[in-house]
Amino acid sequence: MGRVEHPLIGINGVSSGGDAPRVELAYRYADAILKAGGVPVVLAPVGGPTDVRRALAELDGLLLSGGDDFDMARLGLGATHPQAKPVPGAKQDFDVLLARAALERRMPVLGICYGMQLLALVEGGSLLQHLPEDRPKAREHRGGALHSVTLAPASKLARVVGIDRMEVVSRHHQAVAALGPAWSVAGRDDEGLIEAIERNDLPFALGVQWHPELAPEGSPHDRIFRGLVGAAGVAAAQRMISLAAP
């Protein structure tokens, strides 16, 4: 089956509130997509379900980027931890719509940090809201902490990167506690914390808790972005064939 050489990859950004809300995106996300062969497209958190579906219909893949924390009460999942710094409500609502719609469309999707947690939460997962408080004596994961992650040998992620252990950069204090039935664990750190998730029933649906875009160029982390772009290229070719069919 063929593939489109430079598929369009949507990326959600970080939002600020106030009188003049704006969307911002660290260049490193777009740069990683560009170097992997894709064309990055920044998505502003505006519109409702119809607008989200319309936007995704023009894209071939989706990158859910890192960000701050979740307003758990807004998700109907109980109280929000006092140490949490929730993203603006409009952004969280948009991101939830975006993640659900992408998965329903079977669109290739990669979630990074907040993005991985988002993928888990929209399909029945739960969250550790503040580390290390929720895991006493656990290592620190904030501020660019360096540690290793062991990948599940039979996981798609292990096949994508070609190795079973990775050195990663972490910038988070929240983490996935448990997954809904559609998802499986693709990697853990040496303390058992979930560090990567995937859906085996979809062509490419992957979440990583670390920041592969911060790894040195030429490292195995680059293969994660190439995996997303490659899957999006195949999806784009399929879409073109479908549109051309009588």
Strand partners, 178: 126
Residue 28 · residue 34 · CB < 8 Å: no
Active site residue: 113, 123, 141, 198, which one? 113
Active site residue: 141, 173, 213, 221, which one? 213
d(Cα 91, Cα 110) in Å, to the nearest integer?
18
211 as an active site residue: the answer is yes
167 as an active site residue: the answer is no
Residue 110 · residue 224 · CB < 8 Å: yes
Residue 197 · residue 116 · CB < 8 Å: yes
Active site residue: 81, 141, 173, 211, which one? 211
Beta-strand runs (E) in the chain: 8-12, 14-16, 22-24, 39-43, 61-64, 109-112, 126-128, 145-151, 165-170, 175-178, 184-189, 194-198, 205-208
Closest by CA to 120, choosing from 202, 199, 188, 200, is 199
141 as an active site residue: the answer is no
Angle between helices 222-244 and 27-35 (to 10 degrees): 70
Degrees (nearest 5) of the Cα angle 233, 235, 241? Answer: 105
The burial of 115, by beta-carbon neighbours within 10 Å (0-12 exposed, 13-18 middle, 19 or more buried), is given as buried
List residues with catalytic annotation. Answer: 113, 211, 213
